[in-house]
């Protein structure tokens, strides 16, 4: 299942990820777009969920500002990014 929120739209999806982490074997991918790292809602918690549950994959994209060492997607969610997600590329594969 691919979840694609932007900004505060991540709030209800966080509950879904928490529920998944508790009891489900299927992979859930969260592709979360924010203007900058400062704009992430639940950023540390989402990272922890992905770190402890191999069935949860959180990938971020920043549209305006990103850390100097950022290797992830920059800019808005586009077809190329959705294709990479669809093909199963996990956060650790970057």
Asked if residues 28 and 16 have their Cβ atoms less than 8 Å apart, the reply is yes
Q: What is the per-residue pLDDT for 40?
A: 92
What does the pLDDT look like over 33-90, one tens digit per residue? 999 999 999 899 999 988 988 888 899 999 999 999 999 889 999 888 888 877 665 5
List domains and CATH numbers for the chain: 2-93 (3.40.50.80)
pLDDT at residue 70, as a whole number: 93
pTM for this model (two decimals):
0.71
**25-36 CB burial, b ≥16 within 10 A, e <16:** eeebbbbbbbee
DSSP state of 37: G
Tokens 């979840």 correspond to 3
Contacts of 12 (CB under 8 A, 6+ apart): none
Choose among 91, 93, 34: nearest CA to 67: 34
């Amino acid at each position: 299942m691919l979840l694609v929120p932007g900004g505060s739209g991540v709030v209800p999806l966080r509950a879904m990820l928490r529920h998944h982490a508790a009891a489900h074997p299927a992979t859930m991918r969260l592709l979360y777009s924010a203007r900058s790292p400062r704009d992430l809602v639940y950023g540390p918690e989402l990272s922890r969920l992905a770190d402890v549950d191999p069935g949860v994959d959180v990938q971020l994209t920043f549209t305006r500002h990103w850390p100097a060492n950022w290797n992830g997607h920059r800019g808005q969610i586009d077809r190329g990014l959705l294709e990479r997600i669809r093909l199963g590329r996990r956060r650790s594969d970057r």
